[in-house]
Structure 1
Amino acid sequence: MIAEVLSQLGEPFTGEELFDHLSDCVFFIKNTEGQYLVVNKTLVDRCGVQSKQDLIGRTAEQLLRAPLGARFTDQDQRVLRTGKPLLSQLELHVYPSGAVGWCMTTKLPLKKPSGAVVGLVGVSQDLRVPNNEAEEYSQIAAALKHAKENLSAPPSVAALASIAGMSRYQLDRRMRRIFGITAGQWLMKARIDLAEGLLAETNTPIAAVALEAGYSDQSAFTRQFRMTTGLSPREYRVARSSKE
């Protein structure tokens, strides 16, 4: 039924005009080379360019100075090579404009009827900002406050659920409604947020930053930080300092 409707359109439906009206969401379609074919206005703004044409036909690595674009290229090539989607990955993005923000990224392969991958489509949705005055938030506020005050020795999700007077399942469900992420993802985000601030705003040694953020050693911290941002802590510090 949907194929019948789409076949009657004068131009292929890409979703571009729809996503142009979503300022909290980056949208793109890429070919097998990882080059942008379709983008929305939000991506244009965050890349600090003048128009969509400044992005079309270019790859993330061509737009983002090294090593910022490598993470996106690696993601793209993994989806294109395997044909398997990247689903709801929590990431901290650093854009050429200097903007930094958390989002949930999903990339889906585009396939021919034969199954051959011909490109990908992706979105990166900004994390929602919770209403701290809402009753739902007040029911978990004590648990979140406890976590933020003890990030150097971060509590478990089970401990946070106990403080909130909930089961782990109930806490996760509440966190998804308020933040759009699980309790475990929120806890990881809080630790990386602390580390990100120390890296960007202080000269604190990276080993000390790792301890402050609750990592037992610098290598474990570096692995998690790179997985989340695409950069090592040292690379992130350099990237942020160049925007000052």
Structure 2
Amino acid sequence: MDTRLAKGLHEAVKPPAGIPPCALPGSLDELLRATAWFAPVFHALPTTVVFVKNTRAEYLYGNRTLLQRLQLSEQSDLLGKTSADVFQSEWGRQYTEQDLAVLAQGRAIENKLELHTYPTRELGWCVTHKFPITDTNGNTVAVLGISADLESNRDNNPRLNRKIVRIEQYLHEHLDQTVTMKQLEAVSRLSAAQIERGFKKIFNITPAQYIQKLRIDRAVALLRGQMPVSEVSAQCGYSDHSAFSRHFKSALGITPSEFRNLCRRTADTAE
């Protein structure tokens, strides 16, 4: 099998929870006992936040890095609270909404680029993963999450980050439209050169590559549903269906129609 096709198939059928069946905990208590075993390792990660939350999106565990960023001295100060409670900002509310969505849908959030609070109390970029954890009966019992910094404190630029996040929000809201550099300049009040440098510094890709990634991510989500492929193409900002198929195949190694059929076969097999 072609290597790119094999990679595309692997990504397409990857379990949403990201946890192999043999590793599923029998209960929430078992999960917390396992977390306790690895706590010394989690505490030793200075630029990575690790946490576990219950079905109400309340913290059951947070590593030392999370406590330090929240300026909390004890685990007991964190337990039983949501992100909205402890961050007390728009970001905290968004984190809690993410948690509840993962719990309700049973689908992981992976490689989510977002802003969070650095030890200096400034906003910096991180990559977040959140996985729904199910017990042996198939019930969702918790959310396991990890957020890794993209920048060091020395390299962090809060002013630039705030402007880049305006661009990111604009892109998410207008992904079904053609987006020009002039529009991004107006939204961020940065020059085209500053935007290019900012994206390469933070995300290691150009703005055009970032937009392409967002569109493919949205297409993958929509193709799992019943929306016609032509409508998926339009919703992802492609006026030309052939261009959509070409970019999708370039990214995943299979066409949108092949991806949809694969998802359906996988669902039928699971049933």
Structure 2: gaps (5+ residues): 1-20, 156-180, 212-271
> 1:82-113: CA deviations, max 9, x gaps?
01101011111137972321100110000122
Matched, 1:98 2:136: no
The equivalent of 2:34 in structure 1 is 13
**Is the partner of 2:61 in helix, strand or coil?**
strand
Structure 1: gaps (5+ residues): 133-146, 161-171, 189-244
Q: Percent identity?
A: 29
The equivalent of 1:87 in structure 2 is 110
Equivalent pair of 2:69/2:117 in contact (CA under 8 Å): no
Aligned residues, how many? 153
The equivalent of 2:60 in structure 1 is 37
> 1:146-184: CA deviations, max 9, x gaps?
x9xx874537x9xx7xxxxxxxxxxx9xx7xx9665334
CA distance in structure 2 between the aligned counterparts of 1:40 and 1:187, rounded to whole angstroms? 31
Closer/same/farther in 2, CA of residues 179 and 28 from structure 1, 3 Å limit: same
Equivalent pair of 2:125/2:151 in contact (CA under 8 Å): no
Equivalent pair of 1:47/1:95 in contact (CA under 8 Å): no
Equivalent pair of 2:124/2:151 in contact (CA under 8 Å): no
The equivalent of 1:154 in structure 2 is 192
Closer/same/farther in 2, CA of residues 152 and 179 from structure 1, 3 Å limit: closer
The equivalent of 1:67 in structure 2 is 90
> 1:205-233: CA deviations, max 9, x gaps?
xxxxxxxxxxxxxxxxxxxxxxxxxxxxx
CA distance in structure 1 between the aligned counterparts of 2:151 and 2:121, rounded to whole angstroms? 20
Q: In angstroms, what is the RMSD of aligned CA positions? A: 4.3
Closer/same/farther in 2, CA of residues 46 and 58 from structure 1, 3 Å limit: same
Calculate the TM-score normalised by the size of structure 2: 0.46
Letter in structure 2 aligned against 1:65: Q
Matched, 1:46 2:69: yes
CA distance in structure 2 between the aligned counterparts of 1:89 and 1:118, rounded to whole angstroms? 22
The equivalent of 1:116 in structure 2 is 139
Calculate the TM-score normalised by the size of structure 1: 0.51
CA distance in structure 2 between the aligned counterparts of 1:68 and 1:105, rounded to whole angstroms? 13
Which region of structure 1 is more displaced relative to structure 2, 20-29 or 64-73?
A: 64-73
> 1:30-53: CA deviations, max 9, x gaps?
000111111100000000111222
Runs of 4+ in 1 over 4 A off after TM superposition: 178-181, 185-188
Deviation at 1:74, TM superposition (A): 0.5
From the two aligned structures, give the one with the greater helix fraction: 2
Equivalent pair of 2:109/2:130 in contact (CA under 8 Å): yes
